[in-house]
A and B are shown apart, each in its own frame.
Chain A
Amino acid sequence: MFFLCAAFPWFGMDIGGTLVKLVYFEPVDITAEEEQEEVENLKSIRRYLTSNVAYGKTGVRDVHLELRNLTMCGRTGNLHFIRFPTQAMHRFIQMGSDKNFSSLHTTLCATGGGAYKFENDFRTMADLELLKLDELDCLIRGLLFVDRVGFNGHPECYYFQNPSDTQNCVKRPCTLDNPFPMLLVNIGSGVSILAVHSQDNYKRVTGTSLGGGTFLGLCCLLTGCETFEEALEMASKGDSTNVDKLVKDIYGGDYERFGLQGSAVASSFGHMMCKERRDSISKEDLARATLVTITNNIGSIARMCAVNEKIERVVFVGNFLRINTVSTKLLAYAMDFWSKGQLKALFLEHEGYFGAVGALMELLKASEDL
């Protein structure tokens, strides 16, 4: 059998508003002959990427997400998941230039807004031509692929059973067999909501600018934190009900007529117009309130779209959900509660990497059916 495939190295890149997501396929079936012929900088790239888990000051390889012994385009190898802030893009391009990446004559498939924004920088700084791909096309393609191949023998997809019960809320695996139709909510710096009827038939229903970037930006301003991890750490310890005005704060109880429980938030940050309250809350409370506000707003909009599009399955992806169990559980709860069990919230382990995977697959187009 003869496969017409792209030359190594195989990368897929998704240059988002906040993070660059990079997937790298490390072949493990290299023959002795192939190894001998391999050019030096290709070898050095492979060694650099696979023998480190951190790159520079801000690059991280998510080892726990590595897909091992994957077959792509007739080759067997490991798929690695790497991320670094988009702010460090120029340093990355410089590195590509230093390592003479362009001499490898490989196509660099890139998606995300940055594929357009940095196209010229790639060309002028590193003599690299980007093959620009649409981020939502790549997202869907990447998602379906990873769900199909599975996560090292385990399911990629999961949901929460008993989301409304904090004691008994448990994570359960599932698969996306017969995935269509699905509502796909991609929570990055901003949010896109897609109604997907088949791999090639989807529409962007709407979006919201109140996304992961809003959570992090507001948290940095309100609490003085600097990173996503710090913000989540603070949020995990705070109590948002000190910050938000609840229905019971206005009604003295439930607003029964319209089925609004006393514990529902009537006005996010609504207590903060009062000086005594401002002086009595902690940074952790503010971080929690920011997280809850942004998450619930996304949940609310997702629900409206699901109802409008008549879709019952809502899949949430994007790096806002990375290590963010508070939000994933909140979303699971909100979908379940407000729809009285009609809607199901699903999540995927590789969260924010699907765009990059989709870009890699575009590179390997010939192998799509394998």
Chain B
Amino acid sequence: QSSVTYIHVVPRTIKKWKCNTYSEIININMIIMNLCVDFDYLCFIIFVAAFPWFGMDIGGTLVKLVYFEPKDITAEEEQEEVENLKSIRRYLTSNTAYGTTGIRDVHLELQDLTLCGRTGNLHFIRFPTQDLPVFLQMGRDKHFSSLHTTLCATGGGAYKFEGDFRTMADLELHKLDELDCLIRGVLYIDSVMPRECYYFENPTDPERCVEKPYPLENPYPLLLVNIGSGVSFLAVYSKNNYKRVTGTSLGGGTFLGLCCLLTGCSTFEEALEMASEGESTRVDKLVRDIYGGDYERFGLPGFAVASSFGNMMSKEKRESVSKEDLARATLVTITNNIGSITRMCALNENIERVVFVGNFLRVNTLSMKLLAYAMDYWSKGQLKALFLRHEGYFGAVGALLELLHPSECL
């Protein structure tokens, strides 16, 4: 169970409640608040969720899971610990791969983190949304529901699979909005990780291109571009004040889907591998292919793409390009389209700093550099493209934070 501890400063009493569900926690908090108001008491409320502490983001393509592994377990606590909780902890922390498709991103682990008065490591795990049934089965086999823990979940899948969690694993999901969680997660991670945020200096110069840290203090206003299966653009004015400016359906899912069709690849990693070896200018029609040079009147350099895949209407050209060229062109097309829309949003909203997140950018330096370059070039240096190391995990982190510090309480 989760527990709520309630401490009166005057007349120095301590009351504890144990709650089984999230709504019970909320109710208790309301009671306490009313008591304080009625009796003019000063009080502190300490709310502690029961272990295990998970945050889950069920996206269109990937499930992102963050797990807090406590390292400060006392001997007493360890003795009281139920068996399946111990087994979950052991299973997650002693493996880096789960089943055939689950992966723990060890390089992203945050060690010796203090959360809610406990010290431990934060682990980052992902698996395809397609394999959620396998995960649910595992939750059922390990009797996860007997732990009576709240499972905070965000992303579309929190809504889509709510019924499945209930029927297959007897688990109640506490559903959270993905964009609320995203922003909360971004702000938290940036506050505990000094080198989380970075940018690229000289993005187009392979010799001199270098990652540099960027301290995101005074982050507002910020344009947050979340590139998952699809893309959302958020203008963030303060911690609790943001709006979804727009979105585009041409996202990571489009890149992967088109690549699979055009090249026969099957995974994101394969697609990126191919793209790194290809030449998109054979596939795209450039300004110089149409003008013979620059289109000076409107400042379009000859090397700018006039028509993506524009050369592919010609049979000879189709026969002369490789799968790698096609993969590269797909990557460049999707990335530049996102960059273009980003720029328009930044202009509309009068924001100069753009932070790109989402798993489309995972192991995808090509796109990051392209975005960095595009922001800088087309805005003549006005816009800055920033990136975060934990890319696609912020929604899950936000969900975990909601478990530990429910926003509805106080």
Contact = CB atoms under 8 A, between A and B. Distances in A.
Please indicate whether A and B come from the same complex rather than being unrelated chains.
Answer: yes
Interface of A: 16-18, 87, 112-114, 116-119, 134, 136, 189-190, 204, 206-214, 216-218, 220-222, 226, 243-245, 247, 249-253, 255, 257-258, 260, 264-275, 278, 286, 293, 296-297, 300-301, 304-305, 307-308
16 contacts: A17-B289, A87-B314, A113-B295, A116-B291, A136-B297, A189-B307, A213-B313, A214-B333, A217-B312, A245-B229, A267-B254, A267-B257, A271-B257, A272-B261, A301-B340, A304-B246
B78 to A, nearest CB: 40
A308 B347 contact: yes
B257 A272 contact: yes
Given A204-B298, A267-B230, A258 B244 contact: yes
Given A214-B307, A269-B258, A270-B254, A209 B336 contact: yes
B101 to A, nearest CB: 13
B256 interface: yes
Interface residues on B, range: 35 or more
B213 interface: no
A-B pairs, 3 with minimum CB distance: A272-B257, A217-B312, A213-B307
Interface of B is mostly: helix
A222 B60 contact: no
Contact of B344 (A206, A267, A278): A206
B249 interface: yes
B254 A268 contact: yes
B155 to A, nearest CB: 8
Interface string B213-249: 0000000000000000110000000000000101111
Given A209-B284, A209-B333, A250-B59, 14 more contacts: A190-B310, A210-B308, A214-B333, A221-B312, A222-B261, A222-B262, A250-B160, A251-B159, A267-B229, A270-B251, A286-B261, A293-B254, A297-B337, A304-B344
Interface in B336-391: 336-337, 340-341, 344-345, 347-348
Given A206-B340, A257-B177, A296 B290 contact: no
A220 B60 contact: no
A250 B60 contact: yes
B260 interface: yes
Contacts of A217: 283, 307-313
Nearest to A211: B307
B285 A208 contact: no
A304 B341 contact: yes
Contacts of B85: none
Contact of B313 (A113, A220, A267): A220
Nearest to B252: A267
B306 A297 contact: no
B93 interface: no
Q: Which of A119, A253, A278, A304 counts the most B-chain CB atoms under 10 A from its CB?
A: A304
Contact of B249 (A212, A220, A268): A268
Contact of B290 (A17, A247, A253): A17
B326 interface: yes
A87 B285 CA distance: 13
A278 B261 contact: yes
Contacts of A305: 344
B348 A213 contact: no
Contacts of B12: none
A272 to B, nearest CB: 3
A207 B339 CA distance: 12
A183 B343 CA distance: 19
> B60, B177, B293, B313 — which one has the most chain A CB atoms within 10 A of its CB?
B313
B185 interface: no
Contacts of B293: 116-117
B50 to A, nearest CB: 28
A273 B333 contact: no
Interface in B54-94: 59-61
Contact of B307 (A17, A117, A296): A17
Nearest to A258: B244
B133 to A, nearest CB: 15
B348 A270 contact: no
A244 B257 CA distance: 9
B315 to A, nearest CB: 7
Contacts of B248: 297, 300
A190 B307 contact: yes
